[in-house]
Structure 1
Amino acid sequence: MSRLRALSFDLDYTLWSLDQVIERAESRVHDFLLQHYPVVGERYSPELVLRERQRVLEAAPDIAHDLGEIRLRTFRRITDAAGAPAIAARQAMRIFMAGRNDVQLYDETQPLLDALHGRYTLIALTNGNADVHRIGIGHYFAASILASDVGAAKPAAPMFQAAIRTANVAAAEMLHIGDDPETDVFGAAQAGIGAVWLNREGMPWPDRLPRVPYVEIRTLSQLPEIIQSPAGAFGRSAS
């Protein structure tokens, strides 16, 4: 492997837990609608909003990679149906995004970013719509690339190619770290990028996926040792 110059990180469940985050954000939106637009809040429970979100996606599968647009169209759909003013959907989206970015970093996340910042070009690479600046870690990253920016979601190659271009490195000089074996590990390996699987629960490699080269870790605190390992380490499939 060439000299490592850049690292790309998945976000949700890699740098922080997403447990209950989306549910709390949706609950905040419902409370807001009940208070300010009761005609909407009383008509649409969070469960019904979820059904409307699915209808939006079914009607426009071409935006499946853009979670923010799906969410906004859903809010427009329910507010329009209830006869609320157009501004209600935009307000609901702001409430949702505030809650969506109210996350708790894993204990090892900030110490790791402190150690890596300045030594490597760091890129945030996510299929979601988290804002690393609102979360308070944006200064660590040279860029944050969302699937909505690229027009495709991981494991599609354009996401990883965008990271390579943004970091201005060769594929062999980049390493991607993420928790999902398909979108992160398989996707990165297919794009020629070294892959690290953050497998916190020690799950087996999915049978449905072809085996690809990767290194497995259980916690982010193991990453510095992996980075300093011999050049051939990323050419092996970890067991």
Structure 2
Amino acid sequence: MGWLSFDLDGTLADWPFRRVVRPWLEPFLAQPEVRRALREEYLRRLAQGSPAAFDWGDIQRTVAQRLDLKQPFPDLERLLGEVELHPSLLYPEVLSAVRALRALGYRIAVATNGLARYQRVLLDRLGLPYDRLLAPDLTQTIKPNPSFWSSLDGAAALLVHVGDLLSQDVWGAQQAGILAVWVWREMPPDWRRTPPAERARRPDVEEVVAAQLRIELEEHGLAPHLRPQGLPRPDYVVADLGELVGLLEMGVGA
């Protein structure tokens, strides 16, 4: 068959790194100066398009040194390996969908802007089956740069990328020349009534995409040189991965 690649946070799992780590960071985030410094350091690195934008351990060390903090930040890798993980961090349909796709013959890549040394621990502990991990500390670049997916070139072609962020996943897939599937888990009822194969052709799709893109860029930012011209254009829009399985069974991406 070929490769399918999936974003992690918001696509396969409910932001596990954020949910696991944030409670341990609350004493720091409660300090406005520290909170602001962490955000500014992240955005500074992101504006450069640097994989270091997602090295949260290094960001925390940099801020701690700059502000001369006396209380150390938690060791993130150790924390991720020891803290209790609830199975609900994976969305309910994900395990069955991934298993169904592998049974159809697809190879599964997890393509995340989180660093591999953090995300691999979470993936393995949550029991998600996958064949390859793509991450900034492995690819030396970040989504939406099309070279992020270059290691999947070859005989088993990369067919489809699936993700929840228009600004990273859909733009990136478009630039890489592969089908882009947008997972919109908060899809409103009127969109859900539209068959998945037809949603990307709805007359209001550009309005919805433009509004969602503005929200994403305010929250996540994006290096200016990585912003393509024009709106992201998903080839398909699904509410969950169960709908994706249905599309692929119909021959989409073959």
TM-score, scaled to structure 1: 0.70
Q: Is the 8 A contact 1:49 1:74 kept in 2?
A: no
What does 1:10-29 align with in structure 2 at a 5 Å threshold?
10-18=7-15, 22=18, 25-29=21-25
What is the percent sequence identity of the aligned residues?
20
- 2:145 corresponds in structure 1 to 156
Amino acid at match of 1:28: W
Q: Distance in 2 between the 1:7 and 1:110 partners?
A: 15
- 2:5 corresponds in structure 1 to 8
Q: Is the 8 A contact 2:170 2:232 kept in 1?
A: no
Please, which of 108, 112, 129 is the counterpart of residue 126 of structure 1?
A: 112
Q: Aligned-pair distance for 1:107?
A: 0.5
Please, which of 201, 214, 224 is the counterpart of residue 245 of structure 2?
A: 224
Greater Cα offset, 54-63 or 142-151: 54-63
- Partner secondary structure for residue 131 of structure 1: helix
* 1:146–1:138 Cα change, 3 Å: farther
What does 1:1-239 align with in structure 2 at a 5 Å threshold?
4-18=1-15, 22=18, 25-30=21-26, 45=30, 47-57=32-42, 60=45, 61-62=47-48, 64-78=50-64, 81-82=67-68, 84=70, 88=72, 91-94=74-77, 97=80, 104-117=89-102, 119-129=105-115, 130-135=118-123, 136-137=125-126, 140-162=129-151, 164-165=152-153, 169-171=156-158, 174-202=159-187, 204-205=205-206, 206-207=209-210, 209-210=230-231, 212=233, 214-230=235-251, 233=252
- Partner secondary structure for residue 8 of structure 2: coil
Amino acid at match of 2:89: Q
Structure 2 stretches of 5 or more lacking a match?
189-204, 214-229
- Partner secondary structure for residue 237 of structure 2: strand
TM-score, scaled to structure 2: 0.67
Q: Distance in 1 between the 2:140 and 2:70 partners?
A: 31
Listed one character per residue, the Cα deviations across residues 47-70 of structure 1 (whole Å, up to 9, x for unaligned) are 433222234346655464334424
Listed one character per residue, the Cα deviations across residues 59-107 of structure 1 (whole Å, up to 9, x for unaligned) are 655464334424423234315744659xx45x43346645697671111
* 1:133–1:55 Cα change, 3 Å: closer
**4+ residue stretches of structure 1 with deviation over 6 A?**
99-103
* 1:25–1:221 Cα change, 3 Å: same
Q: Is the 8 A contact 1:196 1:216 kept in 2?
A: yes
* 1:122–1:137 Cα change, 3 Å: farther
Q: Aligned-pair distance for 1:7?
A: 0.8
Q: Aligned-pair distance for 1:183?
A: 1.4
Larger radius of gyration: 1
Q: Aligned-pair distance for 1:181?
A: 2.0
Q: Aligned-pair distance for 1:210?
A: 3.4
- Partner secondary structure for residue 117 of structure 1: helix
Structure 1 stretches of 5 or more lacking a match?
32-40
- Partner secondary structure for residue 52 of structure 1: helix
Q: Distance in 1 between the 2:50 and 2:136 partners?
A: 10
Q: Is the 8 A contact 2:20 2:80 kept in 1?
A: no
